[in-house]
Structure 1
């Protein structure tokens, strides 16, 4: 009898322990789901392309301003959910924005995008990335649910190749190579570029001018600060194309009464494609200024690298 009672007691504790062990993760998940906490969910927006959507869930049906973040990586690498992308996405979502950090086709993965990459292929790569960004915006704005994205208040942020994608999306749509893409029925309220450039600043006009915020190193040898060859290729290189950085874009915007803020680092290089992420407060202020209608900035301002400032 004693042995049977001991066996029953032993089995009881095994069952009890198993229940507690399997129940604890579910309980922890519930307690961590605060009503005002930023949550993230991944969606397929086109074929195998995905976006991570960050927001504070709410039963309010009011549409919200939405930021679309496009990572860098030279069209050969990069990811939507890297550390920089996650931090900025969570920061802006906590401030009340919807944020979608997207993948796009990395058609040069395992290949070169340098001076040995033919210029025609470079152009095709730019066009493909813009097409993917267009699809992502369409996906987020075609219906009010579940994203609650206000199609009149879309902001684009990009780093390096992502910044080139953002700038080409907004400013190159009337070029014959871009104009047949599936552009969304949405208004781009503002642009943020970390070490980005546009193919041809002359396509910027009154119909597509948009307030823009730039972070760029003046000595960037990959994506030029002004008008120069991409990666500073020579005219004899098959990959020779001239592109236009923030100085050229700002000068063009100034000619047509457009608005811009250029943060430049006189000694900086292409590391500003990453360093731009270190200034979330400046980015947030820019977005908020636009939403308030205070978007009349026309400024160049020197900025210190956060790495240098810590030394």
Structure 2
């Protein structure tokens, strides 16, 4: 089981690695008073063109080493009529936040409005927003001088000061009230929200990290839009009996003369609907600005704002994975992950940190403790940290007596002195077989050395016992042999052998596992294998027949149309002749054939041996009849006239007509009349021994 606990707030994990910046008071306080950040035209019922200088006081932690630190910018309360940057509860705010590492800037803003005019009240709020933005621009432009971290600015206000902070955060320029362009009696256009007081930081808007709203309100919660700009985290405090600034929706001071405003509960609901991170703490039974008479309400604010802000300053918590149990005295490696830009600290209780790198830590646990704990703390460049705790239950090792066994012909009976504390036992027999049994019997299928493992597990950890065993099965010799031509192919089917000696019956031997052998002569051979291992051997023999594949060859003797074919093939047992005419196939060693005509014939011979191996040979024979009259014999015969030519015909002797180029053009005497004009030979074979040849002209 994997057990990892990340603290919701850092002080729940009592890490001793780092000082608790932003949580515990660590520093002294220094004041830089009356820093002028701007000047702007104040509310003037007479319309005089004068400027009011605007100042801030900056409180910084003495002894803090950060060059740029988170800064809280505070705007006092007083209904936009009274108040100053030295508001009565300022010392409590200063003495809480600054020693914990924050800068605290308290600002002036312009006061005054026509209390009989709702529009004049709206203009007063807008002037306050302009002055807050001017102060923020000044601090951003001079961030190096005053150690301001512009990415971590928090706005805090009291009453009217929270009106200013809320509208700075959530009101855009295009949501500016129409009254700010001028009203009867106050005709001056107040200008854009970022255009007053100074031109610092190129008049850019400074987006705060968060807002702390103390009993403030907004003119319209629809100004909080579902945009990244408006998704600013907010923590709100508001008395449920506040009759000055409404807890819900009401007129300020309950006077309808002023425009209605939306208090903290309504703002909270708007942010919840938009999914913006926020927290709302109703102060039950409290009225307006309750901390002025009851300082305990400041303690409530400190209690909730400390973790709220810290969650935005701290890095992501480091992660540690691993089992939540371990054996006493065991050494365990735990994978870890964290932001490598942070500084990591590891604390171990009831154990020793043996090694640490960016991916894992190695812990040796106590021999006697029942629980241990690992705390990982990661600190970023703001000196904020977060931590993760892994609690580990420690217990004794599983008790077992190792591995013993008996064996016979590869069958092993295993034993172990397993105690009652064992929750699981697992055997691995080293041959890809295993079981979760206690005293198993295992049959090995091969000879050789095997590493046997027994893993015993209890509720805390595991222990492994190892043993090397030897399986001494005798070999079983076996093989399958096939032949092709002069080659012998062997499939070795022997079992439990690691050595093989082959004898092929022709005086040759071999020791390969899967051999291939070539014979030089045909015949019957006794093939033998001796299969052995370190313990014994086995032998088996098999007769095989080597029958070479034929090598086909033949000769042809040609006498005009008379041909003699003679087989001269080697290793042939069966012959198939195809003479190139007709469909008949012949199988004798010698063939005497009379071909039907002159021309080219393809004679084919296929030779087979007794194993079905074959070879084929083809030869083209060109047959022609001689037209050389010097070898002809003319005998007496019956005289006939062919185209007025006297021709002697031998009775009962076949006659053929041949053109002067030796081509047969007729097979009987009467074919003469079908011949084209030209010179032909009339050939008759007499008694199979002599030839009667006569020249005849066809006209």
Tell me: CA distance 1:224–1:214, structure 2 relative to 1, closer, same or farther (3 Å). Answer: same
Higher strand share: 2
Q: How far has the Cα of 1:94 moved from its partner?
A: 0.7
Instruction: Give the aligned partner of residue 17 of structure 1.
Output: none
Instruction: Give the aligned partner of residue 96 of structure 2.
Output: 91
Instruction: Give the aligned partner of residue 209 of structure 2.
Output: 189
| Conserved 8 A contact 1:159-1:196 | yes
Instruction: Give the aligned partner of residue 230 of structure 1.
Output: 252
Q: Output one character per residue of 1:27-70: Cα deviation in whole Å (capped at 9) or x when no partner.
A: xxxxxxxx942100111111322111011256956311110011
Q: Does 1:40 align with 2:39?
A: no
Q: Output one character per residue of 1:133-173: Cα deviation in whole Å (capped at 9) or x when no partner.
A: 01110111113321121111110010001111111111112
Select the residue among 215, 224, 238 that pairs with 1:204: 224
Instruction: Give the aligned partner of residue 160 of structure 2.
Output: 161
> Whole-Å Cα distance in 2 between the matches of residues 104 and 151 of structure 1?
21
> Whole-Å Cα distance in 2 between the matches of residues 199 and 129 of structure 1?
14
Q: Which structure ranks higher in relative contact order (CA pairs < 8 Å, sequence separation ≥ 6)?
A: 1
| Conserved 8 A contact 1:216-1:273 | no
Unaligned runs of 5+ in 2: 1-25, 40-52, 181-190, 195-202, 317-699
Instruction: Give the aligned partner of residue 270 of structure 2.
Output: 252
| Corresponding pairs, count | 250
Tell me: CA distance 1:133–1:273, structure 2 relative to 1, closer, same or farther (3 Å). Answer: farther
Tell me: CA distance 1:201–1:59, structure 2 relative to 1, closer, same or farther (3 Å). Answer: closer
> Whole-Å Cα distance in 2 between the matches of residues 104 and 202 of structure 1?
26
TM-score in terms of structure 2 length: 0.34
| Conserved 8 A contact 2:28-2:63 | no
Q: Output one character per residue of 1:97-132: Cα deviation in whole Å (capped at 9) or x when no partner.
A: 111011111124xx64xxxx2111011000000001
Tell me: CA distance 1:225–1:105, structure 2 relative to 1, closer, same or farther (3 Å). Answer: same
TM-score in terms of structure 1 length: 0.74
Tell me: CA distance 1:278–1:75, structure 2 relative to 1, closer, same or farther (3 Å). Answer: farther
Tell me: CA distance 1:227–1:265, structure 2 relative to 1, closer, same or farther (3 Å). Answer: same
- Aligned-residue CA RMSD in angstroms? 2.3
> Whole-Å Cα distance in 1 between the matches of residues 247 and 28 of structure 2?
39
> Whole-Å Cα distance in 1 between the matches of residues 56 and 101 of structure 2?
19
Instruction: Give the aligned partner of residue 239 of structure 2.
Output: 217
> Whole-Å Cα distance in 2 between the matches of residues 164 and 217 of structure 1?
16
> Whole-Å Cα distance in 2 between the matches of residues 37 and 59 of structure 1?
9
Tell me: CA distance 1:163–1:273, structure 2 relative to 1, closer, same or farther (3 Å). Answer: farther
Q: Does 1:286 align with 2:308?
A: yes
> Whole-Å Cα distance in 1 between the matches of residues 160 and 117 of structure 2?
17
Q: Output one character per residue of 1:251-295: Cα deviation in whole Å (capped at 9) or x when no partner.
A: 11111111211111342221336465343232222211222379x
Tell me: CA distance 1:95–1:262, structure 2 relative to 1, closer, same or farther (3 Å). Answer: same
